[in-house]
Structure 1
Amino acid sequence: MRGSDSRALLASIHDVGPGFEKEVDRLVGLMTDTLRCSRFAMLVVPNHWGCHPIRSGSPFANRLRAWSESGIEMFVHGWYHKDIVEHHGIKGLKARYMTAREGEFLGLSYSEAARRMEDGRALVEDIIGRKAAGFIAPAWLYGWGAMEALLDSSFDIAEDHMKVWIPQTGKVVARGPVITWASRSTARTASSVAFAALACKVLHPLRTIRVAVHPSDISKDSILSSIDTTLRCFAKSRQAGSYQSLLK
């Protein structure tokens, strides 16, 4: 698509599933209008919090396939997204302050992490009719079990807050913080909007910029405005790209 030295903008919509269909529709419209293409990613949750299963042949599954065929990359984004493990120490701090019980893969054993990864991959690939782009853990949080399972998986790409890497080799193919937003509280919203504004000033030297949005973002006009401003800022100097292009 582009030379290996060119700069890219990787945008993604998280928590894609039937429980957030209206929110995802709005975010798809925002992405498409701002980027003027469908080169972005969707992170698909097979059964969000055990309440919103995606079933093959359902209307939502058909929409996923259509989005995939339009050029949108499809990632497996956990299975439930919900974290029910009791954490202690550093993990406890991450589970409490970095996410609201959403870090599903932070405390899973190797076998359980591997099973959920494989079940998610099989479901998504059956629905879209092609290979999933990769795996990204909910809240970008990985415990040792998830990391070991990724090492043995067939996923081409994984991502956390600070990097994108190839699971089987550990090779890092992009570095830099994800620009994302938080709507859980007024303080978190203000800090995320402020970080996005700062990012627009200081992150331009990075070869790859990553922007991630969530269904809850549409609940606040200040976040939607910040998302639009951020995407337009980076789209001026770089192309909307694909995660797969990082492997070339």
Structure 2
Amino acid sequence: MPTPAPSAGREALGGRPHRDVRRLLASIHDVSPRSHSAVDALADRLQGHLGGPKFAMLVIPDHWGEAPIAGNAAFHTQLRRWADLGIEMFLHGWCHRDETPATGRLAQIKGQHMTAGEGEFLSLSQAEAARRMREGKALLEDILGKPVAGFIAPAWLYGPGALAALGDVGFALAEDHMTVWAPGQAGTDRRVLSRGPVVTWASRNPGRIRSSLGFAALARPTLPLLLRDLRVAVHPGDVTVPALLASIDATLARFARTHRPSRYAALLA
């Protein structure tokens, strides 16, 4: 496993005050009983680069309706073990599967081109989005015995209903492809905490593999010079493609040289 690279501490960037901390925020998506072994492998990999469990996990309560965490005592124990290590736990939708017909051309384009049928919260009504969020939050917090860190929609896709529901339910944090924010209470504006693209990888077909490898190769030398906060997200499918694992290793090693591995909650400080 790679040797942890030194963190950046309080280096300045682009004229920012020396007191600003440059952070590296990493996450493992799609955590569920069906991905347990792959998540274990990714967690070991991330810890090797980050110097410990300084990353987040995004948990799906019932992945595609085929892997419920409710009633799975062994998986409950594993979730608590990860959380007790200090890994942040986010709710990641309910089933991760988009079962609601898209309304509007933009939603149709996002659903077709940004995910393979997994934009669960893209077309939900506010009431249905809030129901799934509340039930998932209650389930996960009951298992963990502590609050979840926040909510991140499957495929980072939110429709108007989901965005409104975030304030209703009261999550501390949320993120999409370009932004991390604090949703606030219902009826209040969200507070943007960080801006910049997520570096992630896709394994579902050769074209997606090539494009994600290309973006990561461009991101490694450029984003550390431009952004205070860097975000990296990995998925269980990444472990099936050696080229993706090599790219993940190279990206984490490069980013950790200049940015301090951190938890999302640090953005709220």
Query: What is the TM-score of this pair, normalised by structure 1?
Result: 0.97
* Counterpart mapping for 1:46-195 below 5 A: 46-55=61-70, 58-87=73-102, 88-168=104-184, 169-195=189-215
Structure 2: which 5+ runs fail to align? 1-8, 11-18
CA distance in 1, matches of 2:119, 2:59: 15
Contact 2:223 2:230 in 1 (8 A): yes
* Distance across 2 between alignment mates of 1:153 and 1:193: 36
Aligned: 1:9 with 2:30: no
Aligned length: 247
Q: CA RMSD in A?
A: 1.2
The alignment status of 1:241 with 2:262, answered yes or no, reads yes
Give the whole-Å Cα distance in 2 for the aligned partners of 1:56 and 1:199.
41
Amino acid at match of 1:99: T
What secondary structure sits across from 2:129 in the alignment?
A: helix
- Following TM superposition, the consecutive aligned residue runs of length 4 or more in structure 1 with deviations greater than 4 angstroms are none
1:37 aligns with 2:58: no
For 2:141 and 2:261, locate their aligned partners in 1 and report how far apart those are by CA, in whole Å: 24
In the alignment, the residues of structure 1 paired with residue 68 and residue 97 of structure 2 have an alpha-carbon distance, to the nearest angstrom, of 13
Q: State, as a whole percentage, how many aligned pairs show the same letter.
A: 52
What's the offset of the Cα at 1:55? Answer: 2.1
Q: Which has the larger radius of gyration?
A: 2
- Paired residue type of 1:22: S
Cα displacement string for residues 189-213 of structure 1 (whole angstroms, at most 9, x for unaligned residues): 1110110111111111211000000
Provide, for residues 107-148 of structure 1, a one-character-per-residue CA deviation record: whole Å limited to 9, x for no partner: 101111000001111011111111100000000000011011
Please tell me the residue identity of whatever aligns with 1:109: S
TM-score (norm 2): 0.89
Q: CA deviation at 1:57?
A: 6.1
Kept in 2: contact 1:56–1:127 (CA 8 A): no
| Secondary structure, counterpart of 2:216 in structure 1 | helix
Aligned equivalents of 2:108, 2:70: Cα separation in 1: 33
Q: Which runs of 5+ in 1 are unaligned?
A: none
Q: In 1, Cα distance between the equivalents of 2:167 and 2:72?
A: 31
Equivalents in 2 of 1:68, 1:56: separation in Å?
Answer: 18
